Structure 1
Amino acid sequence: MWSDACTTLAVDRRAANLETWEAWTAAMQIYNAVFDITIPEPGTPVEFMFDHKVRHTTATGPRYFADAGVWDMAFYLAITCRDQDRWTKLCHIDVELLRRAQQGQGREYNPFTYHWIAARQAYILHRPNLVEELTAAMELSDPARAEFGDPDYLNKVVFPQMNTFLTFAQGDSDGFNEALANGLTLWRDYNTANEERAQDVKNVTPLGLLALACMGYDRSFHEAGFRLEVESDYLPKHIVERSWYGEFDI
């Protein structure tokens, strides 16, 4: 579903067409449905929306594919779709469940990944451990301390998201815009460094930075002095400005 959403967005870079919004929300629904189905006790009736229809199934209990990477996608997509119920539910998921999912599939994430998730959960749920978790995430994502991973990816894709989030959490409007703009530049540099990355349709937008841009845009409506000033082809205008929000149930 993510590939479908990116393919649609690649043709409609501003997300001006309703079909783009439909593909985008469908991806959000699928990624969030993973946790709707795996978090409750096995056998619990589950209801979720997909493709304009309410679907019914039963919970399976924990599964290996409900891991940190899928959580990231589900969270960011929920933010861009402005679905507070979904992103709040995701923030109540115990990080240890995501860690166990990783172990169950033999897939490994850097330790900073779980601090980064915990930091976002702390921000959304007003928990007191935000500074502690974000500091740990930023420090452990340093290529000198990360257990593995491409240093360029860590420096140009991972860290800029955290830095932009930090300025947002601090309420620093100027710093937020500077960090976001710098993050977009670094993301572009990384994803155009070779032909394979440049031709990958899934690189049509930096989802984490897009979600943060949406948060900045929304914040500007209820907090004097905070504003989103960054415009970019990597930030689809009609997703950032929630032009299609409320067009249909999601």
Structure 2
Amino acid sequence: METIPRHDIDADFARKQVDTLQLLIESAMEDVVADGDEDALSAVRSRAIMRFQYLTVLDPTAGREETWRAAVFASQVANSVFTRTSKRDETVEHQLGEQTVTLPVVGPNWHATPVDWMTAAWLAVITRSEERIQELCSTGKYTLRGSGAKVEDYLHPWIETLQRFLSGEPVSPALLESVLDLSDPENAIYASREYMLLVAYPPVNILYRILRGTAAQFTEALTQATTAHRDYWSQAELADDPAGFVALPVLAMAIRGRDNGFPIEVESDYLPENLVNATWSNR
């Protein structure tokens, strides 16, 4: 078993952020419930994701119900941004925590970018919601391209690959290999070479090993991806960013590997064990 420690994070600050973010979420949710305000929903989404990430500092194994509920809420909100883009009705109902909220359908918009889709997909896999996974798999190219976001070339075929994989459809070798090629750091347009190498490419490599590799190759890819995540997010200017506290894409790929019969031979607070092992979703 390979153990990869998480970089040092200030637990006292994390505790304060958890409480502050909860208050901010409750405030923004008032506007979401009142009229489905787009900006308020986007604010709830970003704060909910951060709150979950900060909670893992206080609960590294994600063994507390509060952490699990925070992950589920973050996933629900992340999905809601996309369900309101692709429906033909004027409104859509979405479960957000304990509330069922009616949201106006707004079509493609700058809150629903390919990067946002990726985050929503990781959270849906991590919380093992087949309903939310399939909602995201039905998100069309028009919706994602219609956001107007400028993204790296690999992202659109990567999303298509994930939609096929998560839907149980075959993924052609040519499609996956195109993602591997396009995620090469030399092809970066907007992101840094370091980001492409340490953050963007590793999850693609894990999926490649799930589909084409052996258990040993999967373990090697998972180890490399978790180590790369630490190397990137432990840099001085990034160490306090909650995006680095949990390796969302690596965690999601580890879960899918486990579900496909691969043993998990990596231990790390970047990959909370109760999320990897489906402890909460089995209750």
Q: TM-score, normalised by structure 2?
A: 0.78
Distance 1:203 1:26, change over 3 A: same
Match of 1:239 in 2: 275
Mapped to 2, the partners of 1:79 and 1:153 lie a distance apart of: 23
Aligned residue number for residue 33 of structure 1: 80
Superposed displacement of residue 53, structure 1:
2.2
Cα distance, 1:211–1:128 mapped onto 2, change above 3 Å: closer
1:113 equivalent in alignment to 2:159: no
Which residue of structure 2 aligns with residue 191 of structure 1? 233
Q: Is the 8 A contact 2:229 2:244 kept in 1?
A: no
Contact 2:108 2:144 in 1 (8 A): no
| Amino acid aligned to 2:241 | D
CA distance in 2 between partners of 1:239 and 1:15 (Å): 7
- Out of 210, 214, 234, the position equivalent to 1:168 is 210
CA offsets, 1:43-91, max 9 Å, x none? 1x31211122222233222222111011001111000011112112211
1:65 aligned to 2:101? no
Q: Deviations over 1:147-172 (max 9, x none)?
A: 23211111111111110110012252
- Count of residues in Structure 1 that have an aligned counterpart in Structure 2: 236
Query: Cα gap change, 1:126/1:14 in structure 2, threshold over 3 Å: closer, same or farther?
Result: closer
CA distance in 2, matches of 1:116, 1:165: 11
Q: Partner amino acid for 2:121?
A: F
What do you get for the CA RMSD once the two structures are aligned? 1.7
2:61 aligned to 3, 10, 14, which one? 14
Distance (Å, rounded) in 2 between the aligned partners of 1:70 and 1:174: 32
Give the C-alpha shift of residue 246 in structure 1.
5.3
Q: Deviations over 1:161-202 (max 9, x none)?
A: 110110012252221111001111111111112x22112222
Contact 2:161 2:171 in 1 (8 A): yes
Paired residues for 1:150-229 under 5 Å: 150-170=192-212, 172-193=214-235, 195-220=236-261, 226-229=262-265
List, as ranges, runs of 4+ consecutive aligned residues in structure 1 with deviation greater than 6 Å.
none
Q: Which 10-residue stretch deviates more, 69-78 or 59-68?
A: 59-68
5+ residue gaps, structure 2, are: 1-47
Shift of 1:236: 0.4
Letter of the 1:46 partner, please give it: V
- Over the matched positions of the two proteins, sequence identity in percent amounts to 30
User: In 1, Cα distance between the equivalents of 2:117 and 2:101?
Assistant: 21
Alpha-carbon separation, structure 1, partners of 2:244 and 2:187: 27
Do the aligned partners of 1:91 and 1:124 also contact (CA within 8 Å) in 2?
A: yes
User: 1:104-143 residue pairs with structure 2 within 5 A?
Assistant: 107-128=149-170, 130-143=172-185
- The letter for the 2-side match of 1:217 is R
- 1:127 Cα deviation after fit: 4.1
Q: What stretches of structure 1 of length at least 5 have no aligned partner?
A: 221-225
The Cα of 1:97 is off from its aligned counterpart by 2.1
Work out the CA distance in 1 between the residues paired with 2:207 and 2:97: 31
Q: Does the aligned pair in 1 maintain the 2:53–2:243 contact within 8 Å? A: yes
Alpha-carbon distance change, 156 to 19 in structure 1, aligned in 2, over 3 angstroms? same
The amino acid of 2:73's aligned partner reads A
What is the CA deviation profile of residues 14-65 of structure 1, one whole-angstrom value per residue up to 9, with x for unaligned ones? Answer: 111111111111100100011111211251x312111222222332222221
